[in-house]
Structure 1
């Protein structure tokens, strides 16, 4: 099947699309409703048959405002950003005298408004400046062929009499609807008191007043060129065998908002099916099959666990995967690859990814086909499935995504899916190396504290939870045999929490407020004997300046222990806020209750509050300075283990 363009500029719709399909005109068939786009506030001068009401701003106003906003938008490298006006659905139709037309099944309101726009623009600019916008008309004399390239079957020749060939002045010079009805134009008789003609009249006046605005009039010619050459329509030409009425009904009851991703879907699936099929039935069957596969990929990417693991945004997940397809397929062409939209373009204006794919597919003989790109999408989706279901890769990816200090999250998927990376043996070695570079594994334990290095402290505790110590003597019980629940970890917003609280509630309840009592309480928490000199000093009624400084040093030393890594664990933000100042016993009770209820609890956090990892533990319901020091010793050992684990080559087979 011959390959034709799908996307045209507005100028191209009138100059290229028609000859591409061996047609001379666009036809609005009789079954279509008439022109219905409103222009501003409906006035009392509505036709007798239909006194209009409705919203203060109509579709014509919105189209003009959108076009002007796009025209005034900042340029990209000095080039206007293209603006897309949805789809045209067209179908070849045989007219009289053997002529072929493209029947407009969907998009007639836009096409009619654009025809009015360029007719009014020519009138506004005059013959000299407006000649360049005559592309909406046929170049031959009207006696030999139709004057305009758009024809309404139900209003035969109306556009020729009142729009084309400069006749738009008949609409514009009538100052009111009544004046237009009363005018004698000495032309073929029309029943002008009709709703669609009223809307055409109002639209022409709205466009004229818009262009004649004192702020826009000096830019009218440049604006017209922008609309003609930088605004685009997608022409979907269906087969002649399909019923136009059925398609029209389906389109007008199942409209889907136009997005960058949907445009890419239409481009790839339409071209891919055409390139491998010849009959209409084969094309339809293949499109349906590919569409189902596309939708399955899109649904899978929306799963919370998938989005969190791969750093995908809810509204842009499929866009991000398609961008990876673009990067991989453009890899052989560095100049083209440099044009792949930036990661942030998903949330920006326009259709950056669609424009790129359209350019890539037309790059030359060596360019990938739409089928190549669709196959690549399936391949990447399959890889993501495999990695998601492979525990060690899953955990390594998730640890980097959840890290507070890993600065290359935005590049992670781009780097891991690069062809050279896949050929180098898959993701395992790369991910291990990236984890090994985390700053928490390059620091001493003393540098990982709540007040000076909290992000690095978070990362180390995260790694301990994701990669806990393996059970000795039981090789089957490997920590990497089970994927960590990063979706719950992210949704519940796990964060650093003091095990022994910063501002313990019992200190306020059981002791008077004051330095002496606070220091006594802190000293009492230490299972080791307190310095006798400090105890004796605390018993004094008054302190000298030197004694005060000595006590302050003792307090600072205690605060340092309070904020050290040995007194930290990860808890959900909800638990953190609700029990932040509660004693250890209450925090432990809450945590164990979560475990009994089947809630997700990070492994290291559970081990800390159950005291399973402390070799010389005190009471299971108390958390003393001795416990903080014992926990710090354990963490020091685990830090050494993780450094060793992520600095040696992986012995696991590559994926």
Structure 2
């Protein structure tokens, strides 16, 4: 395959490309799909084709490159140059010059230069230019032939654009399109069948996602400086280097652990997941600085398009259009690529640092915005993240001991997450945050943990549980808790069968289940493994989960195991009850004491950051 760069006029006038290849015209075979470029909204292909070229014209860009077109000599007719890839662009270019001729009388350099097998050598462009949709027969024709429908609307869109041009500007714009807009022609070997080439090209194509469109935009623009020439081999070598960096970033961010730490939730853009480098492209999308609205003619053109019926338009390429609208020069595209590369290195450094890892994970999981900190160096980053941590833990009008499940669940979710992420330790008679361990944000999120009751408000207890944990029920009645009547106590002591109403009375506790000391991070939802089981059953399941390697927050483990220790130097014991399978008022008080003490220590530490 050979490659050549041609201005548009050199693609069509007789003594240039066609003459060099001894061809009369471009030929689009029947195996090609029909014309499908849309023309209805500002971000459809035809409007973008026009506005991009016009912007390049306004700023006097020395060259404006369209994408590749792949051609080969036709096997049967050597004077036909068969278009294998690029029909959409070639058709739109032809419509543009036919419209130039119709509106301004300029030379139509594409006249009879593009022919379609499916139209049997009809002058299809002349026909479409003459179409009037108000004609009932034409309206029926457009309804029946989707190909002609899109070509017709492209013609209308181009006409709307050209009508905005004054005569002198129209001539300058026409000359720019002829001489400065260029295409790279891929010339395939004559020995290879066109259908085979077409099949290979289409089999290897990926969906036109935001990811691939932005990649193509950045790779193309960043390697084509406006004021100097580069050999094709130089461009390819530069693109290969960019591609290696790009793929490395994409692979690293496809790992769910990294991606979820920084970006937390998988959102979709159209049908695309926000994973891999897509996450970074979203976070670093350019801020509009040179909007089309700043060019009066384009602003008017966009308003005209908006007056049309856009109800069926879904902008699946909003992210790409943001990049395309704001990276019009090589310098801006190159700067954006450098920003993506440098930011990825920054994320890798943050990920490898335990302190930053825990701080940024907490920041993201408490609704911090990544795009507000991406530009910060490590020192400023830590300062910002500690300020965020301190701010999320503040509340007014009550003490922490007074917080409860009913009124303060969102705040308690944040506080308990902080107490688990930022574990404390004694260091030479000082209480400090222990960053020797990294909190597992990835597993934490996937397990859907939230603030729950250690001893449930409405215990889920069966007669089978009564049999399995009979000793626990017996211990309860022997301590004669106030809410048990004497008849029920005797019934349990004699190991007699109880009914459901009596079982419910046995399972319930006589304390306030919503108070601070009866709370911890547990799996939420009716389908979780822990559910609303009585404490000994819940504790057993929880310990089994830990044994199997399941993620359980450290405070939760230490609470149900009654291993909590006060971090204060020389602090008193917390006073847990001795029986591990029981959860009673003393345990609630001990857990509450630990939460209050640890929270206060953490607030004191954050005041110094």
- For 1:379, the equivalent position in structure 2 comes to 342
Alpha carbons 2:28, 2:84 under 8 Å: kept: no
1:482 to 437, 446, 449: 437
1:392 to 342, 350, 355: 355
Q: How does 1:140-539 map to 2 (within 5 A)?
A: 140=107, 147-151=111-115, 159=121, 161-166=122-127, 206=145, 221=156, 225=160, 237-238=183-184, 243=189, 248=198, 250-275=200-225, 278-311=230-263, 313=266, 315-317=273-275, 318-327=277-286, 349-362=315-328, 368-403=331-366, 406=367, 409=368, 412-418=369-375, 421-422=376-377, 425-439=379-393, 444-470=399-425, 479-506=434-461
| Deviation by residue 1:303-346 (Cα, 9 ceiling, x = unmatched) | 1112221125361243442244444xx59x698999xxxxxxxx
- Following superposition, the deviation at residue 90 of structure 1 comes to 1.6
TM-score (ref. length: structure 1): 0.61
- Following superposition, the deviation at residue 626 of structure 1 comes to 1.4
- For 2:494, the equivalent position in structure 1 comes to none
Root-mean-square deviation (CA), in Å?
A: 5.4
**1:571 is paired with a residue of what secondary structure?**
strand
- Following superposition, the deviation at residue 238 of structure 1 comes to 3.7
Alpha carbons 1:441, 1:639 under 8 Å: kept: no
| Deviation by residue 1:456-481 (Cα, 9 ceiling, x = unmatched) | 11111111111112255699997312
- For 2:87, the equivalent position in structure 1 comes to 108
Alpha carbons 1:93, 1:103 under 8 Å: kept: yes
- Following superposition, the deviation at residue 567 of structure 1 comes to 0.5
TM-score (ref. length: structure 2): 0.65
Within 2, Cα distance between the matches of 1:559 and 1:17? 87
- For 1:10, the equivalent position in structure 2 comes to none
| Deviation by residue 1:277-322 (Cα, 9 ceiling, x = unmatched) | 8332232233223223212212221211122211253612434422
Within 2, Cα distance between the matches of 1:225 and 1:337? 17
User: Residues 370, 277 of structure 1: CA spacing in aligned structure 2 closer, same or farther, 3 A cutoff?
Assistant: farther
| Deviation by residue 1:553-601 (Cα, 9 ceiling, x = unmatched) | xxxxx88731112101112347973433322121121122122222222
**2:451 is paired with a residue of what secondary structure?**
strand
Within 2, Cα distance between the matches of 1:594 and 1:582? 15
- For 1:35, the equivalent position in structure 2 comes to 30
User: Residues 613, 570 of structure 1: CA spacing in aligned structure 2 closer, same or farther, 3 A cutoff?
Assistant: same
User: Residues 238, 211 of structure 1: CA spacing in aligned structure 2 closer, same or farther, 3 A cutoff?
Assistant: closer
Alpha carbons 1:117, 1:207 under 8 Å: kept: no
2:539 to 588, 593, 600: 588
Within 1, Cα distance between the matches of 2:388 and 2:478? 40
User: Residues 204, 102 of structure 1: CA spacing in aligned structure 2 closer, same or farther, 3 A cutoff?
Assistant: farther
Within 1, Cα distance between the matches of 2:80 and 2:429? 77
User: Residues 584, 247 of structure 1: CA spacing in aligned structure 2 closer, same or farther, 3 A cutoff?
Assistant: same
**1:496 is paired with a residue of what secondary structure?**
strand
- For 2:306, the equivalent position in structure 1 comes to none
Alpha carbons 1:83, 1:350 under 8 Å: kept: no
User: Residues 334, 285 of structure 1: CA spacing in aligned structure 2 closer, same or farther, 3 A cutoff?
Assistant: closer
- Following superposition, the deviation at residue 402 of structure 1 comes to 2.3
**2:450 is paired with a residue of what secondary structure?**
strand
2:588 to 617, 620, 628: 628
Equivalences, count: 491
- Following superposition, the deviation at residue 225 of structure 1 comes to 3.4
Residue 616 (str. 1) matches residue 575 (str. 2): yes
User: Residues 587, 530 of structure 1: CA spacing in aligned structure 2 closer, same or farther, 3 A cutoff?
Assistant: closer
- For 1:561, the equivalent position in structure 2 comes to 512
- For 2:176, the equivalent position in structure 1 comes to none
Within 1, Cα distance between the matches of 2:44 and 2:83? 23
Within 2, Cα distance between the matches of 1:348 and 1:220? 22
Alpha carbons 1:498, 1:567 under 8 Å: kept: yes
User: Residues 402, 240 of structure 1: CA spacing in aligned structure 2 closer, same or farther, 3 A cutoff?
Assistant: closer
Alpha carbons 1:18, 1:102 under 8 Å: kept: no
Within 2, Cα distance between the matches of 1:641 and 1:537? 46
User: Residues 271, 378 of structure 1: CA spacing in aligned structure 2 closer, same or farther, 3 A cutoff?
Assistant: same
| Deviation by residue 1:603-641 (Cα, 9 ceiling, x = unmatched) | 111111110016222111110011111111111101101
Q: How does 1:43-54 map to 2 (within 5 A)?
A: none
Within 2, Cα distance between the matches of 1:335 and 1:288? 31
- Following superposition, the deviation at residue 415 of structure 1 comes to 0.9
Alpha carbons 1:440, 1:457 under 8 Å: kept: no
User: Residues 573, 24 of structure 1: CA spacing in aligned structure 2 closer, same or farther, 3 A cutoff?
Assistant: farther
Within 2, Cα distance between the matches of 1:525 and 1:642? 41
- For 2:58, the equivalent position in structure 1 comes to none
Alpha carbons 1:360, 1:368 under 8 Å: kept: no
Alpha carbons 1:391, 1:483 under 8 Å: kept: yes
In structure 2, runs of 5+ residues without a counterpart are 50-65, 165-180, 268-272, 295-312, 467-472, 489-508, 566-573
